[in-house]
Amino acid sequence: MLRFAANLTMLFTEYPPLERFGAASAAGFDTVEVLFPYDDPAPATRAAIDAAGVTLALINCPPPNYTGGARGFAAILGGQDRFQHDFRRTLRYAQALGPRFVHIMSGAAEGPAARATMIENLRWAAAEAGSQRLTIEPINRLDMPGYFLCDFDLAADILDAVGAPNIGLQFDAYHAHRITGDVIGTWNRLRERVVHVQVSGFPGRHEPAGGEIDYDAFFAQLDAEGYGGWISGEYNPAGRTEDGLGWIRR
């Protein structure tokens, strides 16, 4: 049976951030993710998680929210000190909030030096993280210009080079469609590496229903294969969040 989670950075924005946990629970979610939980004190967020009775699937690194700034430092040559500083801060939040995964963002970069830098940083992070599980996610360059980790084969190559058991692939179907044009084919090549799935519709990045991505077929395949991880709705609701959750019921 498929397990769905709500991305509280994008869903339930009708509510203040700390009230979104309860709103998600009331809508039927028992698991959520928050991309950047750093604007609120960790104890307050922990209390909101506990009061709602939900679990936290994922947070992003680096903090804080990158509005107007770099979107990650893992692949930035000469940025190792910044990467390590940010990662340690993320780990402190993770220890307080208990996310299953921490997604490490590569940042904007190019070429073999960026690949080598990301491998070096991920090896360090995997050792530093201990039991905390980590992910990397290919993100398309139309939405995020210059982003280094913009290719699924590159992600697989980096995971092989790092060789750490606590780092897996985060598979966003929206980005897979924009990068490859073939969500299910990309999934078939990489599913053994995938530890977390995110979904949104195309075009518009609204609810994952209709549009160019055949989510009925994708969800049916994940269910048939016994995918046991979470599928997180990471999209901009077309209207009120609760009114657009029919894609899960269907």
Question: Which residues are designated catalytic?
Answer: 137, 234
Residues 6+ apart with CB under 8 A from 75: 106, 107, 109, 114, 115, 117, 118, 121, 148, 149
Tokens 């299910």, located at residue:
184
Please say whether the beta carbons of 250 and 215 come within 8 A: no
Other residues' Cβ atoms within 10 Å of the Cβ of residue 35: 17
Residues 6+ apart with CB under 8 A from 22: 48, 51, 52
Residue type at 215 in one-letter notation? Y
Residue type at 222 in one-letter notation? L
Supply angle C-alpha 122, 3, 222, rounded to 5. 80
